[in-house]
Amino acid sequence: MKNIWIIANWKSNKNIAEALDWISKVGPNLPKRENFKVVVCPSFSALSEVKKAITVGNFPLIVGAQDLSPLGAGAYTGEESAELLKELIDLAILGHSERRQNFGETDEMLAKKVAQANAYSIIPVVCVQSSDTPVPEGCKLIAYEPIFAIGTGNPDTPENANQVAGVLKEKHGPAPAGLEVLYGGSVTSENAKAFIFQSNINGLLIGKASLDAEEFIKICKVMELI
């Protein structure tokens, strides 16, 4: 049975109180199955409290970060290194197009971040904008996020996303444990099912619709239909 990943990317949203409110609503309402992997990626400022709340509640939620440093621990003011984040997270979203656009992130930086993540057993989720985007060595989880679909309410079609996911798998996989491809861009509880049911798609990376606890729970319940 294929893994189904549902990843909430909160981006630069939610203070600690808002984050904990979301965890208390979503945590107890998640479908529990070995192949369901539900991940929440808060801002760095909320990571520690979110991790604590999930542990105390014993919720089936994985904690991720939205980025990490291309460098190790040390004299790098302002950076969040994989070595230090490892206590809090099991996964990191890397190479998001918003980081490329707003913070000048390059393919070289992305490759270093992936290497750092892997060195500390953090799963890198590498975002690509098309099947032509370079993918660094050591990636087993790729998120296809076309720029026209991010935050626009204009998702790609499930059929096209499936076709791109297939090309990505041919080009970059299969890794020893298999390459998995997610879709992201204007996913909602209305369209989630159509994406998850595509044969090459292993899950969803969700921005805006993940912020609302009720909406996110609805999306997670779609996993039970598979």
Residue 136 near ligand 13P by CB under 6 A: no
Looking at 124, 158, 185, 203, which residue binds ligand 13P (CB under 6 A)? 185
Residue 133 is a binding residue for ligand 13P (CB under 6 A) = no
Stretch of residues binding ligand 13P (CB under 6 A), selected from 19-27, 49-57, 145-153, 160-168: 145-153
Contacting residue, 126, 187, 222, 223, with ligand 13P by CB under 6 A: 187
CB of 151 to ligand 13P, least distance (A): 4
* Min CB(194)–ligand 13P separation in Å: 15
Q: Is 96 a catalytic residue?
A: yes
Q: Site for ligand 13P (CB under 6 A): which residue of 206, 219, 220, 223? A: 206
Q: Which of 80, 98, 105, 145 is catalytic?
A: 145
Q: Does residue 129 touch ligand 13P according to CB under 6 A?
A: no
- Looking at 67, 80, 105, 145, which residue binds ligand 13P (CB under 6 A)? 145
CB atoms within 10 A of CB 127: 24
First to last CA, the chain: 9
Indicate which residue of 96, 98, 105, 172 is catalytic: 96
CB 103 within 8 A of CB 91: no
Active site residue 49: no
Site for ligand 13P in 79-98 (CB under 6 A): 96
Q: Near ligand 13P by CB under 6 A, which window of 27-35, 52-60, 71-79, 207-215?
A: 207-215
Q: Count residues binding ligand 13P (CB under 6 A).
A: 14
Q: How far is CA 6 from the centre of its chain?
A: 7
Active site residues: 96, 145
Q: Which residues bind ligand 13P (CB under 6 A)?
A: 9, 96, 145, 150-151, 184-187, 205-209
